[in-house]
Structure 1
Amino acid sequence: MIENLVYGNEKDSTHITLHFKRVYVDEVNTLDNRSAVYLVYSKDNELMYVGETSTLKTRLYVHLTPSSGLDISRDTVGYIDYCYLSMDKYERHIIESLLVMKYRPALNAEDVYTTNKGNHRGKVTKVQFCTVRDMSESGMSRKEVSEKTGIPYSTVSNMSRLQNKKFQLWEQERKSS
């Protein structure tokens, strides 16, 4: 599978082509423990979950154990499409977020906050929120974060200041993981 993604703004957009490979549940042990984005499919070929990680093999083992907290297990998963990425976690978060927004997998559905302020209407995912918070904590200005992620400055500002209950909840979860 090949995915062509674009993020950023008109003046500074980034184009990425991802070449996904497929692995079945009983082949997870053949994977490398490298940074990647991945898509988990059910045995009925439905996309269940999109994720990103710095350690793919370990992360998938965690997902496939019954106590992972998601409805993902060896009994429900048919296969996983993955793409190794040699980029920082901010860019992996952005790619994950773009894939979540594009496909809306069922197990990522709780991770969306709808914005409806001024001229901007859209959705912000939990992944985008975590990316914005990480970028802000690394010293990037709100303007830089907005330009890099394509999220409006006012929304970035609200995320940075934890302006609503959803953002406060996501921040607690981010800090505890």
Structure 2
Amino acid sequence: MPSTVPDFTELLGAAKHSAVHLEMRDVYYSNPRFEAWQRGERIDWSDRSQWWSSFHDEIADAVARGVHVRRARVVSEPVTEYIAWEHYITKANVAAGENVRWLPRRNTTDLLLPGNDFWIFDERVIRAHHFAGNGDIVEHQIHDDPTTVEMCASAFERIWERAIPHDEYEIR
């Protein structure tokens, strides 16, 4: 049965003001870019073709339309190899116009955190991500109940206030 969940591109393309992304896992699915990094391959940041993707186009287009795109990552320290790689490639997200922050998990004890990663678009709709234990994506869900959106948006803002800007966060 085809999914009735709008894809990320559609939701970001319709966003008018904001798109926020919360990531809370220490390991996500593997991919060829991560595996290349594990082998010691590094990006030549002066060669945009090595790192720019359609995702970066979508983010840059949204930012150009006036959408404020923010990403907060809650991470365990010392970080996993996957998170170290994400920190390395976040330079591309920032170049596309995302504002990214990192929050060490040890600094979240007094925060109520949502159970899933998500995107919130214009503080009206959540696209939740559900993962298997190994980091593979299982499904996406849409939530537009105002109470649920407000709870997740409020949690994101509390995390954001505490989180460390990308250019100041050092991998441990």
TM-score calculated relative to the size of structure 1 = 0.27
Higher relative contact order (CA 8 A, sep 6+): 2
Which is strand-richer, 1 or 2? Answer: 1
Which is helix-richer, 1 or 2? Answer: 1
